[in-house]
Structure formats: structure tokens, C-alpha cells
């Protein structure tokens, strides 16, 4: 292992953090013939800039001989923390840098009293699966990454959420997801991201933060599929993705029947206390 120095990345580090993120994902996904999670350097720059600048994220960069060689992030917006993206320069792969970056975010969670940490892991990456398991993470769920098919026309039960809807969305999330993600939803709304909700007879029956980076919950399969179809109408195709827990067999079959297509499988992993969600739940790329 090289002699590493860990720092919090600054705005000046964003281009290099983004380059490593883009190249690491590109090298791995191209090698396994999967579509890239980070399809362009432009997206990597946007993502890295947002993560480095947000005070509610813990960010860590690893340096070797004055060169930035990797980074990792932990969302601290809500009681449950989400890890990632964690990336290491492909030229420094296999030198234990990923373990050090993971140990840093786990240690930070402990320092701030965060008892639950979660992440999503590519099922075909046996190296990272072994790393996370060795650090105490448990595999809870296999989740299909689905390319969403746009609905043919708008659904009148779907509308954009506003800050006034936060209490209802949080109540639904706590009941179905078994944890609060209120801070995440509030940050999405404040940042101008589209948050869709389904409302029937004056009651919210589901919501979804649009794009691959958002989560969602719903009372029924119909609620979830309607939200997903509307999301796909509103965002570019490369962002019209959602996670389908494969243990929800009926939901998965209904998604396939509706024209949504499986891209790959990722593993939902948790560290600390965990209560299995109920209803229809759609994790984000974080958890």
C-alpha cells in the first residue's frame, strides 16, 4: 500500500476527483460490457462538484506522493448514511486504497453518532463485495437496475411535490421504508430536482425523486409504476433508471410487462441496525 494522506477535497480538486470517477467506472463497466453508470466526464464533474460543495456530505480524498488517487463520500443528511461513489484511480487499483477510504467514512459515521450506513454494490464486482463484507456490511437485497420506459401520456394523479408536501412524504417513507429521508427530499426540492408524487382522494400514495440518484416508495405496484413511467417522460433517457428489489417478484414482473428493462443487478448492503421495508420501495444509488 502506498503512503496515503487523507484530506477533505476542495473545489480545486473537483476536476481530478471527476476524472478518476469517470475513468474508474468506465474501465470497470466496459470490461464487463455493462452500460456506464457515469456516462460522461461532464456528468462526473457535475456530480463531484455537488458532493464536494455540500456541507451535509462527508467527503474524503486519498493522496499518494502528492497525487490525488481516490475519493469517497458519505451522505449525512438523514439518520441513515449512504456511501459513495467510492472510486480509485485505475492505475492504483489493488493497493488497499479502497479499504482506507471505506474505513474513513465508517469512522466518520461513528464520530457523529450515525448508527446505520448503507450502500449499493455491483453484484459482478466480487472484489468490492468481499471488501464491504469484511468491513461489516451485510447483503440484504438484490436489486435490478431498470431502464424505465416513458408513459405514453401524463397521468392526472401525478404532480410535482413542493416543500408543503414534505410532512406527508416523510410519513409515507417512515411507514414503508422504515426510516426518514426527509432531509434528502428537502435537499432535492431546494436543488431544483424533480420530485413526483401520486395523490388519490387527497392522500399521497407514493413519491419518487426523478433520476438514478433518487429513491421512491409507493403503496401499490400501480402507484410505483405510474410514478416511474411519468419520471421517464420528464428526464433524459440516460437518467431514467430505477431500482427494483428482486424479492418483490410481482413488482418485477409487472415492471417487465410494462416495458421496463433490466440493465444489471446491484446488491443493497447495510451496516448497523436494519428493518426491512414494506410496500413498494425503490432505493437510490446510495441506499
Q: What pLDDT is recorded for position 224?
A: 98
Summarize pLDDT for 48-88 with one digit per residue, the tens. Answer: 999 999 999 999 999 999 999 999 999 999 999 999 999 99
DSSP conformation class of 150: P
Between CA 93 and CA 62 the distance in angstroms is: 13
pLDDT digits (tens, 9 = 90+) for 248-264: 999 999 999 999 999 99
Q: What percent of the chain is modeled with pLDDT above 70?
A: 99
Burial of 18 (0-12, 13-18, 19+ CB in 10 A): buried
Is the pLDDT at 128 greater than 90, yes or no?
yes
Helices 41-53 and 14-31: angle between axes, nearest 10 degrees:
130
Q: How confident is the model at residue 27 (pLDDT cuts 50, 70, 90)?
A: confident
Given a cut of 80, whether residue 31 has pLDDT beyond it is no
27-36, 128-137, 178-187 — which is least confidently predicted? 27-36
Instruction: Please tell me what DSSP assigns to residue 54.
Output: -
The percent of residues in the chain predicted with pLDDT above 90, rounded, is 90
Q: Tell me if 243 sits within 8 A of 252, measured CB to CB.
A: no
Domains with residue ranges and CATH for the chain:
4-114 (3.40.630.30), 146-282 (3.40.630.30)
- pLDDT tens digits, one per residue of 173-214: 999 999 999 999 999 999 999 999 999 999 999 999 998 889
The torsion region of residue 136 among left (phi > 0), alpha (psi -120 to 50) and beta comes to: left
CA 270 to chain centre: 13
Q: Are strands 138-147 and 241-245 parallel, antiparallel or unpaired?
A: antiparallel
Amino acid at each position: 500500500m502506498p503512503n496515503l494522506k487523507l484530506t477533505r477535497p476542495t473545489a480545486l480538486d473537483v476536476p481530478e476527483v471527476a476524472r478518476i470517477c469517470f475513468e474508474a467506472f468506465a474501465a470497470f463497466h466496459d470490461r464487463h460490457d455493462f452500460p456506464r453508470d457515469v456516462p460522461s466526464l461532464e456528468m462526473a464533474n457535475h456530480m463531484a462538484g455537488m458532493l464536494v460543495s455540500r456541507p451535509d456530505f462527508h467527503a474524503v480524498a486519498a493522496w499518494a506522493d502528492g497525487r490525488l488517487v481516490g475519493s469517497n463520500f458519505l451522505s449525512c443528511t438523514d439518520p441513515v448514511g449512504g456511501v459513495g461513489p467510492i472510486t480509485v484511480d485505475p492505475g492504483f487499483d489493488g493497493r488497499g486504497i479502497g479499504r482506507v477510504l471505506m474505513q474513513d467514512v465508517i469512522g466518520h459515521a461513528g464520530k457523529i453518532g450515525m448508527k446505520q450506513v448503507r450502500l449499493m454494490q455491483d453484484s459482478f464486482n466480487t472484489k468490492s463485495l468481499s471488501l464491504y463484507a469484511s468491513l461489516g456490511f451485510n447483503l440484504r437485497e438484490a436489486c435490478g437496475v431498470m431502464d424505465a420506459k416513458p408513459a405514453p401520456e401524463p397521468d392526472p394523479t401525478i404532480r410535482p411535490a413542493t416543500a408543503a408536501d414534505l410532512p406527508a412524504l416523510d410519513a409515507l417513507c417512515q411507514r414503508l421504508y422504515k426510516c426518514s429521508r426527509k432531509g434528502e427530499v428537502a435537499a432535492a426540492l431546494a436543488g431544483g430536482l424533480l420530485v413526483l408524487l401520486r395523490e388519490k382522494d387527497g392522500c399521497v400514495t407514493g413519491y419518487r425523486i426523478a433520476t438514478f440518484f433518487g429513491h421512491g416508495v409507493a403503496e401499490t405496484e400501480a402507484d410505483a409504476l405510474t410514478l416511474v413511467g411519468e419520471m421517464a417522460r420528464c428526464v433524459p433517457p440516460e437518467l431514467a433508471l430505477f431500482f427494483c428489489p428482486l424479492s418483490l417478484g410481482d413488482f418485477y414482473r409487472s415492471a417487465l410487462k410494462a416495458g421496463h428493462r433490466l440493465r444489471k443487478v446491484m446488491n443493497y448492503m447495510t451496516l448497523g441496525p436494519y428493518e426491512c421495508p414494506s410496500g413498494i420501495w425503490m432505493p437510490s444509488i446510495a441506499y
